[in-house]
Structure 1
Amino acid sequence: MFENQERTHLDELGEFGLISHLTKNIKLTQKSTIKGVGDDAAVLDHAGKKLLVSTDMLLEGIHFDLAYTPLKHLGYKAIQVNLSDIYAMNGTASQVTVSIGMSSKFPLEAIEELYEGIYLACDNYNVDLVGGDTTASKQGLVISVTVLGYADEKDIVYRNTAEEGDLICVSGDLGGAYTGLQLLEREKLVYIENPNIQPDLEGKDYIVERQLKPEARKDIIDLLKELNVKPTSMIDVSDGLASELLHICKQSDKGCNLYEEKIPIDPMTYETAREFGLDPTVCALSGGEDYELLFTVKQAEYDKIKFKMDFTIIGYITEPNAGCNLITKSGNVHPLKAQGWNAFGSQA
């Protein structure tokens, strides 16, 4: 469950002792952070910028499985999935708060390992940890992260502003996180059946990392600024490409044509999906947790982006009566359907 096998029971520290222990080495780097941890509330000053706020909760047994999720990776991922929401607004993430609920099975060393990942993510993305809460939990580990960011009003990008004729683009590649999850679940079952068998993940590092340690795409926001390209709409790919594109189309009152042959899928994702008897395209459309950025740009921007390897043009926005369509590799047209993650059920 965690690498450090020494165990210091949390009741030896108490809540305030634990908070003090976990926050004693925090260094603030953002000019907008006036007061961080240590008072009743953080004090921030964004000097006329628009404040952006997003929050996510991760629950043991629902969003992660500690049988194969290292706590350091989990802490890192908990921050990344929140930062991604700010970047999807074309904003700059600046502060986070982290609240955790934990059962008595977790010693101090386990919580330290979790926070190592949290601090690493904050350091890598120049974000200040400015507060949070800790509590006991009877439901296993609970992690709630709120991220704060900012942007000039003119720079903010919403989901509901795509226009007919806009090009649909996506960063990175898709489906890797889902196929990585299938691999981890398979190895977990093998281990349960025979604990003497070691996990067989050789050569699959990329898709395993896509699941356990995703990276929010701040670099794409920086690149678009360098290119002087402002997306007309944007969303992050947390629930699958199909679901996210349908969000943009529904909220913008538009249709779309998405081309299957253009969807970026890494060779390892493709091969692993086939090993599991899965359609790689379905993994990309419905798998989720890739945390790439899906955005639309005006056709006039095509020359600025056409040779960029960081993202791919995968279709275009149409008028609403045309519907939302997937054009297959063989040229057939199918209605685009969302079959991604359902927070109150299972994969559709």
Structure 2
Amino acid sequence: MIENKNPSKTALSQLGEFGLIEHLTKVFEIGQDTTIKGIGDDAAVLDFKDKQTVVSTDLLVEGVHFDLAYMPLKHLGYKAVVANLSDIYAMNAVPSQITISIAVSNRFPLEALEELFDGFALAAKHYQVDVIGGDTTSSQKGLIISITALGYAQEDEIVYRSGAGDKDLLVVTGDIGAAYMGLQILEREKQVFLVNPNNQPDLDAYSYLIERQLKPEARNDLKKLLADLEVHPTSMIDISDGLSSEILHLCKQSQVGCKLYEDKLPLDPQFINACEEFQFDSTTIALNGGEDYELLFTIKMEDFEKIKGNPHLSIIGYINPEDEGTHLITRENTQIALKARGWNALEEDND
């Protein structure tokens, strides 16, 4: 299913493990002051001095988290890095290093892995993180990617999921739901292609949605944005599994409830049009879609004036006491209990 317009295909066995690692990691440069030693020894050496270190790991499995029928390998490498860095930004920290491990089957030639690593390198350069190590091994069933991200912050800057308090405002960056609709469009075009391989899809009307699915960006702007506004979030989480799921995580960790307002959800016009075309309820998709990599956070009520009207931020609700529950307030002013209906990898795998 891998599109490879280059007729030359180099078997990985020609290089061996160490030759392969040396070949693929040439694209990575060291730029962080905290990196003392990167790739090339038994372990990397880092020095964060008086800062707190944050660490996050993600695993991506072919056939569960991505489909190479429509996911170019360069985009996959980029997205894999973004997904991990988003977790670091969700701690209000600055990412500085990543490690990359892959398990790969013999159906992948060297040229395919070069594409994947070009994506890793592009993301590392864009987000100014060093690639400092990892591992490669063989796989019986396809491609598996594991990335660990490291970052740092001053102790008083770090934001946890557990800090939301009564009457705090619920705020989200950007817009939500678009990545899920991009996936639906790609899945539809894949089915059309399988029936008629000569069909060339016209995807111009869905360009934003497809970009949100294939090449998302992490919110590396929020830490500075809030610092400039003199706003410190009380809690924060990234939106990878769907807005409702993340709100419930945040409320559980903070031992609070919330009211979320349907008419305040930030939705892109292209997203709304695609929902109408697919006959999907836009609110349901926005709440449960996932893979937006936006940031959901809470702020004190007194900071309302500081962020009001900011084009990057939407106030979508507020925190209330735990015994009042977690509810969506519809446009008709009906109160509905929030449920996490986001995509669950384990459940999907067992179906």
TM-score normalized by structure 1?
Answer: 0.98
* 3-state SS, counterpart of residue 203 of structure 1: helix
CA deviation map 1:253-278 (0-9, x unaligned): 10100000000010101110111111
* Alignment-derived partner of residue 259 in structure 1: 261
1:128-207 counterparts in 2 under 5 A? 128-207=130-209
1:310 aligned residue: 312
CA distance in 1, matches of 2:169, 2:134: 40
2:222 aligns to what? 220
Q: Distance in 2 between matches of 1:115 and 1:25?
A: 8
Distance in 2 between residues matched to 1:321 and 1:17, nearest whole Å: 59
**Per-residue CA distance 1:32-52 (angstroms, 9 max, x = gap):** 000000000000000111110
Pick from 328, 343, 346 the counterpart of residue 344 of structure 1. Answer: 346
**In 1, Cα distance between equivalents of 2:176 and 2:215:** 15
Cα distance in 1 for partners of 2:272, 2:293 equals: 18
Residue 300 (structure 1) aligns with? 302
Identity of aligned residues (%): 58
Q: Is the 8 A contact 2:27 2:118 kept in 1?
A: no
2:156 aligned counterpart, secondary structure: helix
The farther-off stretch of 335-344 and 2-11 is 2-11
Q: Describe the superposition over 1:73-104 as per-residue Cα deviations: whole angstroms up to 9, x where unpaired.
A: 00000000000000000000000000011111
Please name the residue that 1:320 is paired with: 322
Matched, 1:269 2:271: yes
The 3-state SS of whatever aligns with 2:128 is coil
* Matched length: 348
| Displacement of 1:330 | 1.0
What value does the CA root-mean-square deviation take over the aligned residues? 1.2
Distance in 2, Cα, partners of 1:4 & 1:28: 31
Equivalent pair of 1:2/1:113 in contact (CA under 8 Å): no
1:108 corresponds in structure 2 to 110
SS at 2:119's partner residue? helix
Contact 1:4–1:109 (CA<8 Å) still a contact in 2? no
2:79, 2:216 within 8 Å by CA — same for their partners in 1?
yes
TM-superposed CA distance for 1:3, in Å, is 4.0
Q: Secondary structure at the match of 1:195?
A: coil
Equivalent of 1:287, from 286, 289, 294? 289
Instruction: Give 1:4 shift.
Output: 4.4
- Matched with 2:54 is 52
Which runs of no fewer than 5 residues in structure 1 stay unpaired? Answer: none
Task: Specify the code of the residue in structure 1 equivalent to 2:46.
Answer: L
How far 1:24 sits from its partner (Å)?
Answer: 2.2
TM-score (norm 2): 0.97
Letter of the 1:297 counterpart: I
